[in-house]
Structure 1
């Protein structure tokens, strides 16, 4: 796909619609589904959307009814095309100050998502590039639609990609990460799966369903255990092995009420009823 085809500002898929809210939210079966809702701008990032994402992930992380989070987007052309470059170009011509990532929330919103207590899954319904690629990498798991493109064109735009410059070599081999960063070239979802960037590639119409199924499977497990796994995995990254093994993040599941329930449910051959404590 050419750069022009995925530049922010293209028309959304007919019938995709767009309400006044840049981010939609609903909860099903202990799964919070967040939907980026700027299809007319290729679901590109704006300061308002960035703030909405930071707030939504923080709230979901602290909501005891939520056990997993799915992030997707409206329409089929793009999951997120990164910064709204057309809007930024117009602002530059008008001499407007650079607002992206300037506030404390905007600067750290990807870290907020990365460190959210609950497991997060990105359902990539369309092109996932630039800041949109970084947004997907901030999530724990990724389900992608067949044939979409993914990548970091920042080197071609004189932009940054600081988050993925640090994180990407921790997800895939360093040489592959640097190739994506240095060349700015896009790869297919299928190639992304081959190198470990996505967990599954499915037909486009099945992306959200597949991501939700995965999230629901996670949500059926003990919340105290899953949260401890998430926090430890994130916070131990880069630590020496001895230090990582001595981390003690969150509730110790062996001392939790849910451990008693989990064993009792197994013995009684029934589904456990988790309390999250």
Structure 2
């Protein structure tokens, strides 16, 4: 990772062609989301959305866990000091999971270890998930008096309501094999293949017209809850039908060569 930079928060940022790799690197804390790590993730994701050269993001992690959720030691210390705890959606900064869903480029999660609590919510916020067998996943917030606000909203949109409510109410974990059957996992591969597979998916996305991909993500996310007639009339992001990339894509196909995307 010649171009990788590590932030003090424990976030490693690597530029890999048109793919940006963001790696959680707090293995001693099971990659728990401290305030500093959340802030750096939000900042980097916003930069990815602003950088026309970035066409896909891979979210990975070092160590035995993908992410154990919010840093409970940090929260407990705030409680001890008598500081006010603000719920995730009541803070002056952007909520991490919301930013992941709204970043204009696709985000692929590479999950080789446990993704629980806020770590599972982080995985749910991503567009695609590559996961190793036997990985523990779930939302145990009801067991410790937390809220799982993002998971409570998003999980019932991803899987049948009854199953989602059982996971939320009981706080029990499921394996990645079960999650795959529910459609929460795009690829189930050996642990050593998780990151290469995620990078391969990101490269495949990055090889396509960036105007088209950004438009597809924006339309899919914003149109999900709309009636069909409204969703079809959405006009979000750059219009690929009117782009230079549309002309280039057709020309490249007819001339049997690789396209040279301009992002315009």
**Structure 1 position 205 matched with structure 2 position 188:** no
Query: Taking structure 1 as reference, are residues 251 and 173 closer, same or farther at Cα in structure 2, changes over 3 Å only?
Result: same
The answer to whether the Cα contact below 8 Å between 2:65 and 2:114 also exists between their aligned partners in 1 is: yes
Which of 236, 239, 244 does residue 226 from structure 2 map onto?
239
5 Å-filtered alignment, 1:68-217, equals 68-75=56-63, 77-98=64-85, 101=88, 103-106=91-94, 108-217=95-204
Matched residue pairs, number?
258
Q: Quote the RMSD (CA, aligned, Å).
A: 1.5
**Structure 1 position 47 matched with structure 2 position 35:** yes
The answer to whether the Cα contact below 8 Å between 2:34 and 2:74 also exists between their aligned partners in 1 is: no
Between the aligned partners of 1:142 and 1:104, the Cα distance in structure 2 is 29
Residue segments in structure 2 that go unaligned for 5+ positions in a row: 1-5
**Structure 1 position 20 matched with structure 2 position 5:** no
Between the aligned partners of 1:222 and 1:198, the Cα distance in structure 2 is 25
**What SS does structure 2 have at the residue aligned with 1:273?**
coil
The answer to whether the Cα contact below 8 Å between 1:54 and 1:105 also exists between their aligned partners in 2 is: no
- 1:67 Cα deviation after fit: 0.2
**Structure 1 position 275 matched with structure 2 position 262:** yes
The answer to whether the Cα contact below 8 Å between 1:83 and 1:130 also exists between their aligned partners in 2 is: yes
Between the aligned partners of 2:203 and 2:181, the Cα distance in structure 1 is 25
Deviation string for 1:55-92 (max 9, x for gaps)?
111000111110000001111x2111001223333442
Aligned to 1:12: none
Residue segments in structure 1 that go unaligned for 5+ positions in a row: 1-17
- 1:189 Cα deviation after fit: 0.8
The answer to whether the Cα contact below 8 Å between 1:144 and 1:200 also exists between their aligned partners in 2 is: yes
- 1:174 Cα deviation after fit: 1.3
5 Å-filtered alignment, 1:27-66, equals 27-66=15-54
**What SS does structure 1 have at the residue aligned with 2:93?**
helix
**What SS does structure 2 have at the residue aligned with 1:82?**
coil
Between the aligned partners of 1:269 and 1:94, the Cα distance in structure 2 is 66
Which of 230, 236, 247 does residue 249 from structure 1 map onto?
236
**What SS does structure 1 have at the residue aligned with 2:52?**
coil
- 1:141 Cα deviation after fit: 0.5
**What SS does structure 2 have at the residue aligned with 1:104?**
coil
